[in-house]
Structure formats: C-alpha cells, structure tokens
Amino acid sequence: MDSKLEVYIEGLNEAQRAPTLHKDGALIVIAGAGSGKTRVLTMRIAYLMSQGIDAFNILSLTFTNKAAREMKKRIAGIVGNSEAKNLWMGTFHSIFAKILRFEADKLGFPSNFTIYDTQDSQRLISAIIKEMQLDKDIYKYKQVQNRISSFKNSLITVRAYFNDPDLVEADAMAKRPRMGEIYKEYVDRCFKAGAMDFDDLLLRTNELLNRFPEVLAKYQNRFQYILVDEYQDTNHSQYLIVKALSDRFQNICVVGDDSQSIYAFRGANINNILNFQKDYDNVAMYRLEQNYRSSKNIVEAANSVIEKNKTRLDKTVWTANEDGGQIIVHRSPTDGEEGRYVASSIFENRMNHQLMNGDFAILYRTNAQSRAMEDALRKRDIPYRIYGGLSFYQRKEIKDVLGYLRLIINPKDEEALKRVINYPARGIGGTTVDKLVVAAKHYGRSIFEVMEKIEQLGASMNINRGTQTRLSNFVTMIKSFQILNDGGNAFEVAETVTKKTGLVQELKKDGTPEGIARIENIEELLNGMRDFVEEQKQLADTTGSLAEFLEDVALATDMDNDKGDEDRVALMTIHLAKGLEFPFVYIVGMEEDLFPSAMSMNTRSELEEERRLFYVALTRAEKQAYLTYTESRYRWGKLVDAEPSRFIEEIDDKYLDYQTPMQSYRYKPLMDTDIFGDVDKSKLRLKKPVSGRPPSVGTPTGDQLRKLRKIKPTDTSDVPISSVVGALKRGTIVEHIRFGRGIVEGLEGKGQDQKAEINFENGGLKKLLLRFAKLKII
C-alpha cells in the first residue's frame, strides 16, 4: 500500500477501518451523524484503487456534485490526479445523464437531448393545460407536475397509468379526470423536443437497463464497485438502478443513517436501507459509533431527541470530544428581534473566538424565514450567502442566454425556443407561436423543424410573408451559431450569442441599476464558462464543450455553485444542510407549527420525519448550537402567538442553557463602536416590547386566511420563479422569495410597468414592480 494512504488509513478508528478495507461483496455502514461515513466512503475508494481496481470500474453516487468534487480532490491527493480523473462520481442525475447520452439512440432520443429544469417542465405543463382548455384552478400546474413526477419515480409509464384502474379512478375522484391525457401529452412533447426532465433521467435509465440486456451487461461489467452515500434518501427509481447495476458483481457499498432520512416527501424510501440485507447475499453490516464532529453536549442532546422516534434502528453514538458549551436556547419577542439576536451573537462570537464568517450557519425550516435574518445581518454588515434561493442559473437574463445556447445544441428544444424566439423583440408574436405549436403537433415535428419549412408551410398556417421572413431569419441565426460552435469553444460561442442576438444591447437600453446588474450577471456567466473549460480539462479530461457546460448547468444544485472562496455566513434550509458541518449553528424558528411544521403533524410518520430533520440540524454543529424561537411572528401578514417547539422540550434540560430576551446583546456590540464617538444614539434605544404591535394594514380577512392555510407549503428551495407580469389579479396567491406567501390586493399600471399591492405573510402590505419582483403564483 502507498505510504500516504497508509497514514490516512491509520488515522481511521478500527470500526471505520473495517468497511474501508473490506474487499468484495455487499456491505452497508449504518451509523449516526458525524461518525465518518462519508470519510469511509472516500478512503475506501482510494484503498480499492491501491489494490489495483481501475478507476474506470468504480462508480460513486453522492448527494451533491460538490460533495463528489471534494471527494475526488481528496482521492486525487492520495492516488494522484491522473488516476482520480477517471472515477465516475456525482449525483444520480449527473451520472445517469452521462450514460443516457451514450445510449440515447436506443430510446429514440438524440444524444444532444436537453435536460428540462423544473421551470421548463412547469411551463410546458401550463401550456398543455391551456391548450386542452382545462380549468387552471382545478388543474393546477404544480400539482399536475407533482403527480407526474410521482408516477415517474414509481416507474408508472403512460401505458401503465391507463392500465391501472385505481390510478385513473383516483384522478377522477380528485376531479382531474384528464390527468392521464396531460401526462401523455407531456411525455410526447418532451420526446418530440428531444428533452428529458429530472425524473426522466432516472426513469429512462431504468427503461434502458430493463429493455436492453446488452446495455445492462455493459454497465454491470464496467461498474464493478459501486458506492452510495446518503443511501437512506434514495427513491424507488434510484434503488432499482443501483440494484440492477450491482447485480452481477454485488460489490456494493452503501452508507447511511436511517435517522437522517428527510426526503420522504419527495419519494425517498427509508425501506431501501432497512431491506438492504435482504437484497444481497452475505451482506456485511458495519456500525460506526464514534462521532468526531460535535461536542459531547451536542451529541448527547441529539441522541436524546432521536430516541423519541419509534421507527428507527438502534444505534449508539458517542464522542471523545470535549463537553463543549450547553446548547443555548433563546426566546425573542418577534422574528425581527430573533434576527437581531442571531446577528449580534455571530458578531460577538466571531470577535471573541477569532472565527471567520464561514464558521457560522443559520438553519431554518422554511425559506421564508431567511428574510428577518438577512435584514439583521445586513444591518451589522455581516456578509452572508443564501443557499437554495433563486439559483444563479434560474435568473431571467441567464435563462435567456442559456435558451439560445440550448437551441444551438438541440434546436428541437421547445421551451428554449419559446423563451427566446421573441426576446429581444423581433416581431414574432404569441399568435404566431401558437400557430407553430399547432402545426408542429399536426406534422408530428418540432417547432423548429416547422420553422425551417416556413416558406412552404406559411401560407397554409395563415402566417404572413413578413412574419415568415422573420421566422426564417431566426432559423438562419441559430444555424450560424451552430456552425460557430462546431469549431469554436463554448466561451466564444456564448460571447457571440450575447452580442449578435441583441440581448446585451437590450439590457443596456434599459439603463436602470437592475439592467446593469443583469449585464453583470451575464458577464459572470461568461467568466464561469471560461473557468468551466479549464476545470473540465484538469479534472475530467474532456474539452469543456458547450454541450458539457449545459449539462453541468442543468444538473447544478445551488450548493454546487458555491466556489467557497468567499467568507460568508451560510443561510439555508435544514434539508440542504445534510452532510455539512459548521463550528457554530443557529437553528431559528424553533416553534410549534413552524418546526415541526403544521403541515407535517397529521401522522406519526410525518412527525417522526420532522424529528429526524431536527436531528440533522442539530448534528451539523461542531462546537456550539443555538436554538431560537419567538413569542410572536408575522405569518400570513398577521402577528400570531408562537409556542416553543416540542423538540426543545424533548432535549434533557442538562444540555440546555435557557437565555431570556433581556440579555445585553442589543447594546454590547454597538457600544464597541461608541469609542469612536460616531454612534447614532437613537440606534441604542431599546425598542418597545412588541407584543402590542398592531397588525399591518390590510390584514387578510378570515376567508383569505383560510384560503392561504389550505395550501400546503412546498419546499421552495428549487422552485424557479417566472415573470408574473400580466398574470395576476385580485385575490391571486403568490409567493415571494423573502416575504413568503401573500394575496394580491390591487394592481396598477400595465405591461412592463405593472405594479401589485400584495399582503404578505411575513412583510405585511407591499407594493412591488412586477417586472422585478421575484414572485411565483401558487
């Protein structure tokens, strides 16, 4: 064994060494948080390579691409970069997208197929609902999308759907009898557009492995060793893929923690981990018990909470780390105060312990809670980064550029085409696009193919000469970009696109600060492409083509965009924090109905999932954890009383340090700056107690509130936002990235200048210019 590797392996404890050095056969490592599961997986890969296993024969599946990159770098440090380059590592989606590209023709897809993101899928579903003239209040596009997604994750194809009377009847009962037709049309349209959505990447992989035994055999032989991190959160579709691929050699190693299974609401199946021993022969089962991450107080407090769950595997987790401070529990009168407390506390801790901003994380149950935290951090000049908000690649100007780039690679891509065909404006109106959609359906072709023949078809489609010319010009432009792409590199192509299409000029004309910010974002995209080409050459041995770049973007999670070169406090939902660790962790909004969420307390299993989520949150902390809650909080635009979360009570008191809101935090840091004599004294004044704060103007009526409450909050972390100009009316329910849900109370102005007055759950009444407002319709 290489001496470097030896040193690393010696650094493992005995329990970790056993699964690391286990050679062949199936093995499972079940262990609590922070016990080194991910580390074992990493070292095991390095060990296998040292034993002569070719990197090409190892497949490793992780929760984010960033985690995969980090593992790869660590392994490269041990075995050398040229070897590590050849490892197959990434998320399920990115790995199987790659495989599908090789094999696409077998399934009738082009190898340059587009990957539709959530927003593309939603737009297409909305369009279909409209074309079928269905009531969009009954056929809500998001619910339809969720349903289609759950079909796909359970491997229910369109044919299987229609053959299953129970499914058909369930939709009829839900007053959506035409669900199956929408599903069929959606699948057909994606197929014609040469596009796969996220769920397709798994569904089609299953189809590929099932229908083509020779393909299955090829990948079984290729991936002789398969390793999966966070196995507890795999869904059925992912489970079947792993099962099929590992069937021949059965060299499968999975690691996970049933106590950290938090994605049941997206179809994750905890039974995958519980049944692992039945799925393979001679399964070796390993347990790790020593936690290296957290202080004793945190480990024991987390243990005391998770023990309350009935469905769980018995596990011991202990640590040799110091006791550490007790977990601080802090009550504030309102969420504004809670934000100020957290910001002040971070400020003080950073000074007192000489820490970086990046040593702190603020975790919350729902995205809407970030606003109060952001306001407070901004006031204290503490740099922060929100994860899971609107990701960079979802921004309008970026999606516009990507729309053109996608068309270059796959001109059949319907959603990209619809997005850019008339942006910047080139006189191709909505009616023309509708006609193109109808014709495409009639001829069984893509819209682009119809456009290529517009001179012959135009008259029969009632499209006049002038418009025909504009359509042909568009086709010619895209084709000229394609020619450029054949010889050029991705960065150059993109730069030309932003200039030749008039995208940048359009934003320059705008002249507003927002317009300038958008231009800067486009520049940032171009810089990113340049970096991508470089990184790709170094880490993956490919050229970094435009197609590769687009694939990377389509599958990037928000976490993946983090270059980690800026020192910022991290803000994210607990779901996103899985697998990560921070010295100081603030878990905010520890209140009944918020955490545990009001929507997840109907059954024991839902409540247990909330408890697991709390376990995940608490175990992210290395040195110090804070639990904060408020006495009252703005929800649905109204101040409501809040009760502390039951999860606080579930922790034994000896691990907790209860603080009161009257601690000196409000003065201390500000007083520090007083020595310069430039403090605004008015800022030092204590605010009046807030319990008597009047409700904001225009509080929603009882009826409106009931309407709001009926809606199940969704995890908004990856839901993209579309422009809502022209789409709102009084009473429409929307969601804002910071202010949460709200009801439209009034509208003024038209087109690009339209404003809406909206009563928000977390911000009260606000007037927003819709063009810039990050709103989505619920």
Instruction: Determine contact, residues 228/234, Cβ cutoff 8 Å.
Output: yes
- Kindly give the interhelix angle for 213-222 and 236-246, rounded to the nearest 10 degrees: 80
Pick 270 or 377: Cβ nearer ligand ATP: 270
86 binds, among ligand ATP, Mg ion, none (CB under 5 to 8 A by kind): none
* Strand blocks (E) in 588-719: 621-630, 632-635, 638-641, 656-659
257 binds, among Mg ion, ligand ATP, none (CB under 5 to 8 A by kind): ligand ATP
Pick 14 or 214: Cβ nearer ligand ATP: 14
Binding site residue list:
31-38
Query: Contact between 232 and ligand ATP (CB under 6 A)?
Result: no
Pick 11 or 689: Cβ nearer ligand ATP: 11
Tell me how far, at minimum, the Cβ of 272 lies from ligand ATP, in Å: 16
Residue 51: CB atoms within 10 A of its CB come to 10
Query: Contact between 16 and ligand ATP (CB under 6 A)?
Result: yes
Pick 147 or 287: Cβ nearer ligand ATP: 287
d(CA 612, CA 614): 5
Residue numbers 290-329 binding ligand ATP by CB under 6 A: 292-293
Residue numbers 21-60 binding ligand ATP by CB under 6 A: 31, 33-39
d(CA 348, CA 346): 5
Stretch that binds Mg ion, among 29-37, 184-192, 492-500, 753-761 (CB under 5 A): 29-37
Cα angle at 529 between 533 and 78, to 5 degrees? Answer: 45
Q: How does DSSP classify residue 70?
A: H
Map residues 31-60 to x or -, x wherever contact with Mg ion holds by CB under 5 A: ------xx----------------------
Binding site residue list for ATP:
31-38
Tokens 């609401």 belong to: 265
Q: Residue 509 corresponds to which amino acid?
A: K
Tell me how far, at minimum, the Cβ of 605 lies from ligand ATP, in Å: 21
Tell me how far, at minimum, the Cβ of 443 lies from ligand ATP, in Å: 52
Cα angle at 552 between 210 and 547, to 5 degrees? Answer: 85
Pick 38 or 290: Cβ nearer Mg ion: 38
Encode burial over 277-291: b for 16+ CB neighbours within 10 A, e otherwise. eebbeebeebbbebb
Map residues 190-209 to x or -, x wherever contact with ligand ATP holds by CB under 6 A: --------------------
Tell me how far, at minimum, the Cβ of 294 lies from ligand ATP, in Å: 9
12 binds, among Mg ion, ligand ATP, none (CB under 5 to 8 A by kind): ligand ATP
By CB under 6 A, how many residues form the interface with ligand ATP? 18
Q: Residue 306 corresponds to which amino acid?
A: I
39 binds, among Mg ion, ligand ATP, none (CB under 5 to 8 A by kind): ligand ATP
7: exposed, middle or buried (C-beta count within 10 Å: 0-12, 13-18, 19+)?
exposed
Tell me how far, at minimum, the Cβ of 260 lies from Mg ion, in Å: 9
Instruction: Determine contact, residues 30/15, Cβ cutoff 8 Å.
Output: no
Residue numbers 250-279 binding ligand ATP by CB under 6 A: 257, 260
- The H or E element containing residue 748 is strand 740-748
- The H or E element containing residue 587 is strand 582-587
Query: Applying CB under 5 A, which of residues 90, 339, 528, 579 lies at the interface with Mg ion?
Result: 579
The residues annotated as belonging to the active site are 37-38, 229-230, 260, 620
Instruction: Determine contact, residues 415/195, Cβ cutoff 8 Å.
Output: yes
Instruction: Determine contact, residues 546/485, Cβ cutoff 8 Å.
Output: yes
In sequence order, the 6+-apart residues with CB closer than 8 A to the CB of 775 are 721, 724, 728, 734, 735, 736, 758, 768
Stretch that binds Mg ion, among 18-26, 117-125, 571-579, 712-720 (CB under 5 A): 571-579
d(CA 399, CA 393): 6
Structure tokens at 66: 């960033």
Tell me how far, at minimum, the Cβ of 737 lies from Mg ion, in Å: 29
Stretch that binds ligand ATP, among 5-13, 422-430, 431-439, 534-542 (CB under 6 A): 5-13
Tell me how far, at minimum, the Cβ of 21 lies from ligand ATP, in Å: 14
Query: Applying CB under 6 A, which of residues 579, 596, 713, 742 lies at the interface with ligand ATP?
Result: 579
Query: Contact between 321 and Mg ion (CB under 5 A)?
Result: no
Number of H helices, E strands in the chain: 33, 22
Residue numbers 474-493 binding ligand ATP by CB under 6 A: none
Structure tokens at 118: 């959530």
Q: How does DSSP classify residue 359?
A: G
Residues that bind ligand ATP (CB under 6 A): 11-13, 16, 31, 33-39, 257, 260, 292-293, 579, 581
Residues that bind Mg ion (CB under 5 A): 37-38, 579
